Amino acid sequence: MNRFVRHLLVVLTAVLAVLTPSVAAVAATESKASVLSRWTQTTAASTDTWNSARLNRAPWASYAFDWSTDYCSSSPDNPLGFAFELSCWHHDFGYRNYKDIGAFDANKARLDNMFYADLKRKCATYNSVVRPACLSLAWTYYQAVSIFGSLEAVNPSDIDRARALIEK
């Protein structure tokens, strides 16, 4: 490679590095409410962005997010073997952090809808034979948080009804 091409590549790389903000730089300029909003939408992209941050929390440390979870509270985390833990964690994250900034009431409905969207995406990964049972449980879990604000309202009989769907 001749000298001119090498010099041009070095200059272009330097310009690109200056113009491309790092995750940490973006994190430093965004408000906590803005980040929460971006991470708690009903889209798969929003969930993926939150999950990436969950797996690499260091760039977000200055926000002091509450990453704690009790997963699906007192309801089963994996009802009938359907893996709902990550959806419950995402929901807990939204609830806890919006409460922390005093904006929970204004965002609760969206957080519950995000939870339901996450659960439906999870159910879509199961085969068509068991998917109706998964979707039935997803609806039950969504209704519990939507109406009562907690998964503690899930009745064991709801899980029994979903089990009957599988056994048909």
For the annotated catalytic residues, the residue numbers are: 91
Query: CA-based Rg of the chain, rounded to a whole angstrom?
Result: 21
* Cα 123 from Cα 107, distance rounded (Å): 24
Find out whether 89 and 69 touch, Cβ atoms under 8 Å. yes
Candidates 69, 73, 88; CA nearest to 152 is 73
Candidates 109, 116, 76, 115; CA nearest to 93 is 115
